[in-house]
Amino acid sequence: MTRSKAIFGAAALLAVGVVFYAGQRGPIVTDSFIGAANAQDAAEVDTSTIVEMVQGAEDAPITMIEYASFTCPHCAAFHQGTYQEIKKNYIDTGKVKLIYREVYFDKYGLWASMVARCGGPEKFFGISDLIYKGQSDWSKLGSAPEIVNEFRKIGRLAGIGEEELDVCLQDGENAQTLVAWYQENAEADEVTGTPSFVINGEKVANQSYAEFAKLFDAELAD
């Protein structure tokens, strides 16, 4: 099972929010629309500033691109199970290079991404693990400010300061660039659901660790 949505065209406008802070850091959430049909077309946004989040040896014989949303339960399950085995047996051993690309189905997934990226590539995957581990808890919270505060707690746990988190979460230009980058990648790889994978250029569905291992071993045997 994957989480799927139509993600392109006028009907694919993504409702996202940029978080601002006032008073004693009380979060004020303002919603705006950022997407392909917004004031600035996604094709006009320079996405070259977005850093690819990569794990594994640069010269690994297998390149695995993962498309995932922080709000997708199936993505959380993959990261707490199958991914851990892939990392131990293939990524950490130099056989697989993982490129992780976020998919933004909603503003919460975008905010989570902005916090995960706030610590740079060195902290991204550690923060991502914490976000996925806590998904079942923060996703049940009743309001956007509560969810944002949970993301901030995760960021602080990873050693990111309050002021740095403020800057990251208030960066509307970065938010729009991230959305354009996601649309660009998803369109190129025909991504319609999460988690989705591209292994050495071939699209692959989410599956068990054993099935991924068979695919990797077949690639390594060639």
Would you state the pLDDT for residue 41? 54
Structure tokens at 159: 């050693």
Would you state the pLDDT for residue 7? 43
Taking Cα atoms as reference points, which of 129, 108, 143 lies closest to residue 55?
129
Q: Where are the domains of the chain?
A: 27-213
Q: How far apart are CA 191 and CA 198, in angstroms?
A: 10
CATH number of 27-213: 3.40.30.10
Would you state the pLDDT for residue 43? 59
Q: How far apart are CA 6 and CA 171, in angstroms?
A: 26
Spatial contact of 40 and 176, defined as CB atoms under 8 Å apart: yes
pTM of the model: 0.85
Q: How far apart are CA 51 and CA 53, in angstroms?
A: 6
* Mean pLDDT, residues 94-122 taken together: 95
pLDDT at 2 over 60: no
Reported as a single tens digit per residue, the pLDDT across 121-172 is 999 999 999 999 999 999 999 888 899 999 999 999 999 999 999 999 988 8
- For residues 199, 59, 117, 80, the Cα torsion angle rounded to the nearest 10 degrees is 50
* Mean pLDDT, residues 179-193 taken together: 92
